[in-house]
Amino acid sequence: MTDKTQDWIDIAPLDAVPRLGARVVRREGRPDIAIFRTRDDRIFALEDRCPHRGGPLSQGIVHDCRVTCPLHNWVLELDTGRAVAPDEGTVRRFRVRVAKGVIQLARADLVDGNGAGETGCDAEAGLERCA
Amino acid sequence: MSNGQKMNGHAGANGSERGGRQRERLVVIGNGMAGMRTLEELLEIAPDLYDITVFGDEPWGNYNRILLSPVLAGEKRPDEIVLNDRDWYADRGIRLEAGPDKRVVRIERGRRVVIAADGTEAPYDRLLIATGSRPILLPLPGRELDGILTFRDMADVEAMQAAARTYERAVVIGGGLLGLEAAAGLQANGMDVTVVHLMDRLMERQLDGPAAAMLKRAIEARGISVLLEAETEALLGNAEGRVRAVRLKGGREVPADLVVMAVGIRPDTELAQAAGLHCDRGIVVDDTMLTFDPRIHAVGECVSHRGRSYGLVAPLFEQAKVAANHLARAAWASYRGSVTATKLKVSGVDLYSAGEFSAADGAEEIVVQDSGAGVYKKIVLENGRIRGCVLYGETVDGAWYFDLMRSGTDVSDMRRQLVFGQAHLGDSGKGGVNVADMADEMEVCGCNGVCKGDIVHAITEKNLFTLDDVRAHTKASSSCGSCTGLVEQILASVLGGDYSEAPKEKPLCACTDYPHDVVRRTILEQELKTIPDVMAFLEWRNPDGCATCRPALNYYLLCAWPGEYVDDAQSRFINERAHGNIQKDGTYSVVPRMWGGLTNPRELRAIADVAEKYAVREVKVTGGQRIDLFGLRKEDLPAVWRDLARAGFVSGHAYGKALRTVKTCVGSEWCRFGTQNSTALGVALERLTWGSWMPHKFKMAVSGCPRNCAEATIKDFGVVCVDSGFELHVGGNGGVKVRVTDLLAKVETEAEVLEYSAAFIQLYREEAHYLERTAPWVERVGLAHIKARIVEDAASRKALYDRFLHSQTFAQKDPWAERAARPAEREGRTPGDEFAPLALDLA
Ligand code: SRM
Ligand SMILES: Cc1cc2nc3c(=O)[nH]c(=O)nc-3n(C[C@H](O)[C@H](O)[C@H](O)COP(=O)(O)OP(=O)(O)OC[C@H]3O[C@@H](n4cnc5c(N)ncnc54)[C@H](O)[C@@H]3O)c2cc1C
Ligand code: SF4
Ligand code: FES
């Protein structure tokens, strides 16, 4: 059970996500979140919805700090959420971390701040960047 | 790749590390095209291995020498042809010593230093000689007069342009490529030009008689005089010591205030020879571009490789790549010589030639000549392969012929259309369009809705040079690829004369320069057994590769090491990981295998049960005689499979680069025309081959008689039953570009059908490029090659068959049954199971 007062919510052990792979976090009434793991065990979280035509990014092939969408091969940067040029578009990011071998998402990114219904992280702080 | 891109990539990489650890010193002599290309390649793979010094006797950075002709003609400005300006060197911490006084005059191999004219010394650990060549100055009386020039560098161009401002009459000695470009350039500067040529036709080394005659007419039509079979005897001067005429053998004098000698080049070996390096015509190098001194490499026009010197940039760039590879200590690349193609860069004259143009013994010619339209094409064939071509007036297909020639493609089957060009093969589906005549609004790429105007715009605005660039920026040709030929033609027509990138074998993807075949061969030769091993050995640029190369490497390894290689799930496209087809809404479709298209009430009932239980949104009979269940959620897939597996189904692999379906017709069991039991044979074929992973999807069919109801003649492997046995057809394709099969053989027994099919599949598995279907593969390697391995050589067929059976012992494991058998996952919701979503508990 996750404590309500905590800022970070446990999702799954790190090993639940394969290296160079992804898992989906299902949310009721909200778009899914895709959790990605790179070769060197960095974890990133993006909305599981390609800015092109909504393809499930979690089903793509992960390479370096990027994922290739399975529907029409757009490539998205895991850290910035941006499509690699010449494609243009951005996908929402979520703060994520691994604590004691457990993947955690930031609570603030998951609950409505102002009732707008959208969630995710708009700030740069707390988001890991690729080299 | 454009220099702009490279510049950003490396800015400062070198400078920041200077003064740190002691690096080896690399000195380059010759600031020209081959030397600087080598440095660019080297910096790409090993940016900070060396402290680099470059000596050049021209007073600027490096420029594109081949574009001197358009500069002379006033079509380009000098600054437009700069390849590496002085900042380029500075940004990379390269010391540039440029100018006439920096001409290197001595190499002291004992002390390992080079010395320039002004006394500057530079010690080296490694030396690269790239001094190019020198224009030949005929030893004619009067050659010391003013107004005698050659055509080699920027200074020559400036001198010619200056002369054109004061004087009127020019003679160009030499009617080769360079001479004609000089003549056209001088004429564009307003001079009266005469070309004096020793031989009986222009460009005799590239052109045959008819093409040369057409060229002569075109040159004369622009007002340039051409004198053939004319040998210059002397250069005559006036009182001021300037040339006034050229005297030919026989006494004729041609007035001239300017004479340009363009009679050939000689590799510049002076320095190397003085230093005691072994030279013949050029500096002798081995396949690693190393001279006889193990510290000294050489590249470019100055070298002699396997007895040949080259005077065109494409081969020099290949050499540069190899030299860089060895300078970077990667040490596996080798240079084996080049095939070259030439194109004349005189605007308004379209001329292309490659390889041999005269038919020697055993070769034959296809010639089309339309003097009225100013078109001449000759293709020289030998053993069904292109040995050379000469194109005049219509050169768009030059690159295509050159490609076919270099890849050694068997063109026997397209022989009759060959000379009409690629468009006529229906490759683009837009038959015979001349891209220059196409309207901007005309759609080129049907998949992505890209018009010609969009492509032209992107090429000019974004400075695109390659097909891949155009794909990335416009999406044209990035989907089904059927418009690739058209896009290439548009590129060629927009870029025009800048053909310095010769077509080469395509790299597997942007992560590497190696083409598929090299990668496959290296995996076997070096016994590489994992994806990271392959990437490390072949120095992949991106550590994890990309979505293009990872699936290819996974397949190549799987095929090379059956039973041994451990499949990498993360390197498979999602369909092959999920054993279903991903749909536009993220759901999946599932196709159970129905052997030979046969089914029965029990199976149909099981499918119906699954459809109801998992709320399948649509049930459809497919074009491949199977049943497709649409709209399944990913998390339900394991359970769907379990239920289907319990009913006896295996996966239909409708999603995979694998054996898809074997279509059958009714056959002799029921049909009044049937000659054999095509249905049972189809089932046997499918039982033999299901589960096998392939370079691309693979479809089969068996028809019971020549009425061919199973459409066997557009399948990868098709069987048409006849009274006396079975016709085996290969290399057919429905799809984007329809191709009818070739007849491989006729056999008498069902056992033979099975053996031949398995051998054919195995050959395809071992030799084709990933994502190359049998149709393009058969066209590329030629039916003769396939017959030689499968029909004419029984031992080879048997060996292929055995290898196929061996690999099938590991491949024929139903992924559904396998998964359903795993106890923990029978329940479907364990962590680590990619199918189950993770829960989010916000409470
Ligand atoms: C289901 C089916 C259409 C149908 O409802 O009938 C179908 C559906 C798809 N075809 Fe097909 N093709 C189907 C028969 C065909 C046929 C006819 C045949 O097999 O007899 C052809 C032409 C024959 C051929 O391949 O030579 C065909 C030529 C293609 C092509 C073009 C291939 C080519 O070489 O040009 C593609 C694109 C590709 O594979 O890259 C394609 C790709 C696809 C994909 C996989 C597109 C995709 O990547 O998602 C479609 C998947 C839909 C799905 O989820 O099932 N499909 N497709 C047919 C399944 C046959 C089966 O039972 O397995
Ligand atoms: C007008 C013209 C048109 C051409 N058109 C084409 C074409 O259409 N297609 C094509 O493929 N090729 C063409 N070429 C040929 C192509 O330009 C050459 O093959 C290519 O430039 C050779 O490269 P390189 O590095 O070997 O020699 P270069 O580019 O000549 O470089 C050698 C450099 O080394 C310098 N150097 C020599 N000795 C010393 C020394 N001792 N110390 C210091 N520096 C030294 C030279 O001054 C020169 O700058 C053309 C050439 C010319 C002149
Ligand atoms: S033809 Fe094939 S690929 Fe095209 S929409 Fe139909 S099923 Fe999809
Ligand atoms: S939906 Fe992702 S690339 Fe089209």
If phi > 0 it is left, if psi is from -120 to 50 it is alpha, else beta; for residue B527 that is left
Burial class (CB within 10 angstroms; exposed 0-12, middle 13-18, buried 19+) of A98 = middle
Our measurement of the distance from residue B430's CA atom to the centroid of its chain's CA atoms, rounded to an integer in Å, reads: 23
CATH number of B427-503: 1.10.10.1100
Chain B residues touching A62 at Cβ < 8 A: 544, 570
| pLDDT band, very low/low/confident/very high, at B436 (cuts 50, 70, 90) | low
Q: What is the pLDDT of residue B501?
A: 42
A31 touches chain B (CB under 8 A): no
Helix (H, G, I), strand (E, B) or coil at B157: helix
Whole-number Å distance between alpha carbons of B118 and B127: 20
Q: What is the pLDDT of residue B538?
A: 92
**Lowest mean pLDDT: which of B97-101, B413-417, B571-575?**
B413-417
pLDDT at residue B145 is higher than 90: yes
pLDDT at residue B429 is higher than 80: no
Closest-CA residue to A120 (of A91, A97, A99): A91
Q: What is the pLDDT of residue B10?
A: 40
Q: Which residue shows structure tokens 């056992």?
A: B751
Q: For B468, which residue in chain A has the nearest alpha carbon?
A: A86
Whole-number Å distance between alpha carbons of B554 and B534: 10
A102 touches chain B (CB under 8 A): no
Q: What is the pLDDT of residue B428?
A: 35
Non-local (6+) Cβ contacts of B826 within 8 A are B642, B820
pLDDT at residue B839 is higher than 50: yes
Chain A residues touching B546 at Cβ < 8 A: 61, 63, 68, 75
Higher pLDDT, B342 or A11: A11
Q: How many residues does chain A have?
A: 131
Ligand of minimum distance to the alpha carbon of B695? 1
Whole-number Å distance between alpha carbons of B601 and B620: 17
pLDDT at residue B100 is higher than 90: yes
pLDDT at residue B237 is higher than 60: yes
Whole-number Å distance between alpha carbons of A25 and B647: 32
| pLDDT band, very low/low/confident/very high, at A122 (cuts 50, 70, 90) | low
Q: Which CATH number fits domain B3-133+267-327: 3.40.50.2300, 2.80.10.50, 3.50.50.60, 3.30.230.10?
A: 3.50.50.60
CATH number of B148-263: 3.50.50.60
As given in the structure block, the two tokens for residue B157 are: 């161009």
Chosen from A24, A27, A69 to mutate, greatest number of chain B CBs within 10 A: A24
Distance B624 CA to ligand 1 centre (A): 8
Asked if this assembly's ipTM is beyond 0.90, the reply is: no
Q: Which residue shows structure tokens 């390096």?
A: B277
Q: What is the pLDDT of residue B5?
A: 39
Within 6 A (CB) of ligand 1 lie B 581, 583, 589, 591, 620, 622-624, 626, 628, 654, 660-661, 697, 699, 733-736, 773
Neighbours of B188 (CB within 10 A): 18
**Lowest mean pLDDT: which of A6-15, B335-344, B375-384, B619-628?**
B335-344
* Torsion angle (degrees, nearest 10) of CA B607, B613, B615, B619: 10
Q: How far apart are the first and last CA of chain B?
A: 54
Residue B79 has φ and ψ, to the nearest 5°, of: -70, -15
Task: Look at A19 and B570 and tell me if their CB atoms are within 8 Å.
Answer: yes
| pLDDT band, very low/low/confident/very high, at B517 (cuts 50, 70, 90) | very high
What is the average per-residue pLDDT within A105-128?
68
Q: For A11, which residue in chain B has the nearest alpha carbon?
A: B840
As given in the structure block, the two tokens for residue B583 are: 């749909």
Domains and CATH numbers, chain A: 5-128 (2.102.10.10)
A118 touches chain B (CB under 8 A): no
What is the average per-residue pLDDT within B323-341?
88
As given in the structure block, the two tokens for residue A96 are: 């994520």
Distance A54 CA to ligand 4 centre (A): 6
Segment (H or E) for B824: helix B823-826
What is the average per-residue pLDDT within B8-29?
61
pLDDT at residue A116 is higher than 90: no
Closest-CA residue to B443 (of B431, B430, B434): B430
As given in the structure block, the two tokens for residue B736 are: 């984007």
pLDDT at residue B827 is higher than 70: no
Q: Are strands A66-68 and A61-63 parallel, antiparallel or unpaired?
A: antiparallel
Contact between B182 and B218 under an 8 Å Cβ cutoff? The reply is no
Shortest CB distance from B543 goes to which of A18, A64, A73?
A64
Q: What is the pLDDT of residue B504?
A: 52
Is the dihedral angle over the CA atoms B645, B646, B649, B650 positive or is it negative?
A: positive
Closest-CA residue to B406 (of B344, B303, B315): B315
Q: Which residue shows structure tokens 């060895």?
A: B326
Contact between B301 and B265 under an 8 Å Cβ cutoff? The reply is yes
pLDDT at residue B503 is higher than 60: no
Ligand of minimum distance to the alpha carbon of A52? 4
Ligand of minimum distance to the alpha carbon of B630? 1
Mean pLDDT rounded to a whole number for chain B: 88
Q: What is the pLDDT of residue A115?
A: 41
Helix (H, G, I), strand (E, B) or coil at B541: coil
- pLDDT tens for each residue of B664-716: 999 998 998 889 999 999 999 999 999 999 999 999 999 999 999 999 999 99
Chain B residues touching A111 at Cβ < 8 A: 842
| pLDDT band, very low/low/confident/very high, at A126 (cuts 50, 70, 90) | low
Q: For B843, which residue in chain A has the nearest alpha carbon?
A: A4
Segment (H or E) for B118: none
Neighbours of B581 (CB within 10 A): 18
Q: What is the pLDDT of residue B823?
A: 58
**Lowest mean pLDDT: which of B232-246, B420-434, B742-756?**
B420-434
Shortest CB distance from B547 goes to which of A27, A63, A86?
A63
Shortest CB distance from A68 goes to which of B547, B584, B841?
B547
**Lowest mean pLDDT: which of B6-15, B132-141, B469-478?**
B6-15
Task: Look at B542 and A75 and tell me if their CB atoms are within 8 Å.
Answer: no
Whether the full predicted model's pTM is greater than 0.80, yes or no, is: no
Q: What is the pLDDT of residue B789?
A: 95
Q: Which atom of ligand 1 is nearest to B626's Cα?
A: 62
Non-local (6+) Cβ contacts of B416 within 8 A are none
Q: For A39, which residue in chain B has the nearest alpha carbon?
A: B544
Higher pLDDT, B428 or B199: B199
Q: For B541, which residue in chain A has the nearest alpha carbon?
A: A64
Q: What is the pLDDT of residue B832?
A: 44
Percent of chain B, pLDDT > 70? 91
If phi > 0 it is left, if psi is from -120 to 50 it is alpha, else beta; for residue B53 that is beta
Q: Which residue shows structure tokens 């025309």?
A: B673
**3-state SS of B342-377?**
EECCECCECEEEEECCCCCCCEEEEEEEECCCCEEE
Contact between B639 and B840 under an 8 Å Cβ cutoff? The reply is no
Contact between B556 and B771 under an 8 Å Cβ cutoff? The reply is no
Q: Which residue shows structure tokens 């190696």?
A: B514
Ligand of minimum distance to the alpha carbon of B99? 2
Adjacent-strand bridge partners of B507: B515
Whole-number Å distance between alpha carbons of B607 and B619: 10
As given in the structure block, the two tokens for residue B804 are: 């196929």
Q: What is the pLDDT of residue B427?
A: 42
Q: What is the DSSP letter of B202?
A: T
Chain A residues touching B634 at Cβ < 8 A: 59
Neighbours of B139 (CB within 10 A): 6
As given in the structure block, the two tokens for residue A120 are: 């995710």
As given in the structure block, the two tokens for residue A127 are: 């988001």
Whole-number Å distance between alpha carbons of B747 and B742: 15
Non-local (6+) Cβ contacts of A62 within 8 A are A20, A21, A22, A36, A37, A38, A78, B544, B570
Q: What is the pLDDT of residue B426?
A: 43
Percent of chain A, pLDDT > 90? 66
Q: What is the pLDDT of residue B829?
A: 43
pLDDT at residue B652 is higher than 70: yes
Q: Which residue shows structure tokens 């050694």?
A: B408
**Lowest mean pLDDT: which of B322-331, B364-373, B706-715?**
B364-373
**Domain covering B658-813 assigned CATH 3.30.413.10 in the classification:** yes
What is the average per-residue pLDDT within A17-46?
92
Q: For B835, which residue in chain A has the nearest alpha carbon?
A: A23
What is the average per-residue pLDDT within B627-636?
94
What is the average per-residue pLDDT within B382-410?
83
Q: What is the pLDDT of residue B467?
A: 79
Q: What is the pLDDT of residue B822?
A: 67
Q: What is the DSSP letter of B425?
A: G
Q: Which atom of ligand 4 is nearest to A73's Cα?
A: 3
Adjacent-strand bridge partners of B414: none
Chosen from B463, B570, B636 to mutate, greatest number of chain A CBs within 10 A: B570
Helix (H, G, I), strand (E, B) or coil at B404: helix
pLDDT at residue B442 is higher than 80: no
Within 6 A (CB) of ligand 4 lie A 50, 52-55, 69, 71-74
Chosen from A9, A39, A59, A74 to mutate, greatest number of chain B CBs within 10 A: A59
- Where do the structural domains in chain B lie, given as residue ranges? 3-133+267-327, 148-263, 427-503, 516-572, 658-813
Whole-number Å distance between alpha carbons of B60 and B443: 45
Non-local (6+) Cβ contacts of B506 within 8 A are B515
Non-local (6+) Cβ contacts of B573 within 8 A are A61, A70, B547, B551
Helix (H, G, I), strand (E, B) or coil at B675: coil
- pLDDT tens for each residue of B559-615: 999 999 999 999 999 999 989 999 999 999 999 999 999 999 999 999 999 999 999
Task: Look at A24 and B838 and tell me if their CB atoms are within 8 Å.
Answer: yes
Distance from CA of B842 to the nearest CA of A (A): 7
Neighbours of B449 (CB within 10 A): 11
| Interface size between A and B, measured as CB pairs under 8 A | 102
Segment (H or E) for A35: strand A30-37
Among B59-68, B354-363, B709-718, B806-815, the range of highest mean pLDDT = B709-718
**Lowest mean pLDDT: which of B149-163, B488-502, B687-701?**
B488-502
Percent of chain B, pLDDT > 90? 62
Whole-number Å distance between alpha carbons of B197 and B292: 38
Q: What residue owns the CA closest to ligand 4's atom 4?
A: A72
Do B3-133+267-327 and B148-263 share a fold?
yes
Task: Look at A70 and B574 and tell me if their CB atoms are within 8 Å.
Answer: yes
Within 6 A (CB) of ligand 2 lie B 29-35, 55-58, 65-66, 68-69, 103-104, 130-132, 151-152, 178, 181, 268, 271, 300-302, 311-314, 316, 345
What is the average per-residue pLDDT within B609-630?
95
